[in-house]
A and B are shown apart, each in its own frame.
Chain A
Amino acid sequence: MTTFLGMPALPAYGSGNLFAGETFPAAAHRELGNAQLRANLGHATHTIRDKRQAVVSELPDWEQLRDAGSAIKESVMATLPELLEEFEKNFTARGGVIHWARDAREANDIVAELVRETGETEVVKVKSMATQEIGLNEYLEEQGIQAFETDLAELIVQLDHDKPSHILVPAIHKNRTEIRDIFLREMPDADPALTDDPPVLAMAAREHLRRKFLTAKVAVSGANFAIADSGTLAVVESEGNGRMCLTLPETLITVMGIEKLLPTWQDLEVFMQLLPRSSTGERMNPYTSLWTGVMEGDGPQNVHLVLLDNGRSAALADGMGRSALHCIRCSACMNVCPVYERTGGHAYGSTYPGPIGAILSPLLTGIQAEENSSLPYASSLCGACYDACPVKINIPDILVHLRSVDVDSKRGTKKLPSQMDVGMKAASWALSSGKRLGLVEKGLPLGRLAAGPDRKITRLPGIAGGWTQSRDIPAPPAQSFRDWWAKEHRDAGSPGQPDPGHSHEPSRDDKEAQQ
Chain B
Amino acid sequence: MRIALFATCIVDAMYPATAKATVKILERLGHEVVFPSGQACCGQMHVNSGYLNEAVPVVANHVAAFDTADYDVAVAPSGSCVASVKHQHPMVARSCGDAALEARATAVGAKTYELSELLVDVLGVTDAGAQLGSYFPHRVTYHPSCHGMRLLRLGDRQSRLLRTVQGIDLADLPEADQCCGFGGTFSMKNADVSSAMLQDKAANVESTGAELCTGGDASCLMHIGGGLSRQGSSTATLHLAEILASTMEEPASVTGEVRVSTGKALR
Contacts and interface: CB of A to CB of B under 8 A. Distances in A.
A404 B16 CA distance: 32
B121 interface: no
Contact of A467 (B13, B19, B191, B258): B191
B11, B12, B32, B52 — most chain A CB neighbours (10 Å): B12
A378 B190 contact: yes
Interface string B32-70: 111111111101011111111111011011000100111
A266 interface: no
A441 interface: yes
B187 A466 contact: yes
Interface stretch (B160-168, B175-183, B208-216): B175-183
Given A424-B49, A480-B16, A432 B181 contact: no
Interface in B185-224: 185-199, 222-223
Nearest to A405: B50
A338 B227 contact: no
B20 A481 contact: yes
A477 interface: yes
B135 interface: no
Interface in B237-260: 250, 253, 256-260
Contacts of B155: none
B8 to A, nearest CB: 10
A242 to B, nearest CB: 35
Interface in A471-509: 471-482, 484-486, 497-504, 506
A3 interface: no
A470 interface: yes
A498 B33 CA distance: 13
Contacts of B95: 404
B50 A514 contact: no
B40 A434 contact: yes
Interface stretch (B97-105, B123-131, B146-154): B146-154
B16 A432 contact: no
A463 interface: yes
Contacts of B48: 381, 400, 403
A454 B262 CA distance: 9
Contacts of B110: none
B7 A481 contact: yes
B211 to A, nearest CB: 17
Nearest to A475: B261
B190 A381 contact: no
A480 B263 contact: no
A437 B13 CA distance: 9
Given A434-B65, A477-B16, A470 B23 contact: no
Contacts of A38: 196
A400 B50 contact: yes
Nearest to A454: B263
B45 A427 contact: yes
Contacts of B15: 477
Contact of A338 (B150, B189, B197): B197
Contacts of B260: 474
B197 A514 contact: no
A339 B223 CA distance: 17
B2 interface: yes
B114 to A, nearest CB: 15
B14 interface: yes
Nearest to A486: B37
A515 to B, nearest CB: 5
A454 B260 CA distance: 11
A335 to B, nearest CB: 13
Given A380-B146, A477-B257, A25 B189 contact: yes
Contact of B188 (A342, A379, A467, A479): A467
A497 B37 CA distance: 8
A6 B50 CA distance: 35
Contacts of B47: 400, 404
Interface stretch (A281-289, A292-300, A382-390): A382-390
A399 to B, nearest CB: 9
A241 B67 CA distance: 63
Contacts of A458: 230
B39 A434 contact: yes
Interface in A29-68: 29, 32, 38
Contact of B37 (A427, A476, A482, A514): A482
B198 A471 contact: yes
B225 interface: yes
Nearest to B179: A382
B48 to A, nearest CB: 6
Interface in A431-446: 431-437, 440-441, 444
A332 interface: no
Interface string A351-384: 0000000000000000000000000111111111
A501 B68 CA distance: 9
Given A474-B260, A480-B13, A500-B69, A456 B50 contact: no
B190 A24 contact: yes
Contacts of B256: 514-515
A435 B12 CA distance: 13
B119 to A, nearest CB: 17
Contacts of B118: none
Interface of A: 24-25, 28-29, 32, 38, 338-339, 342-343, 376-384, 386-387, 400, 402-408, 420, 424-425, 427-428, 430-437, 440-441, 444, 451, 454-456, 458, 463-467, 469-482, 484-486, 497-504, 506, 510-511, 514-515
25 contacts: A25-B189, A28-B190, A380-B187, A384-B177, A403-B49, A403-B50, A408-B52, A420-B49, A427-B46, A431-B61, A434-B39, A434-B61, A437-B12, A437-B41, A441-B12, A464-B188, A470-B195, A471-B226, A472-B261, A473-B226, A477-B15, A481-B13, A500-B38, A501-B36, A515-B256
Given A32-B193, A380-B194, A476-B13, 8 more contacts: A25-B191, A378-B193, A407-B50, A432-B60, A437-B40, A467-B226, A474-B14, A474-B259
Q: Which 3 residue pairs of A and B lie closest in terms of their CB atoms, listed nearest first?
A: A380-B183, A403-B50, A471-B226
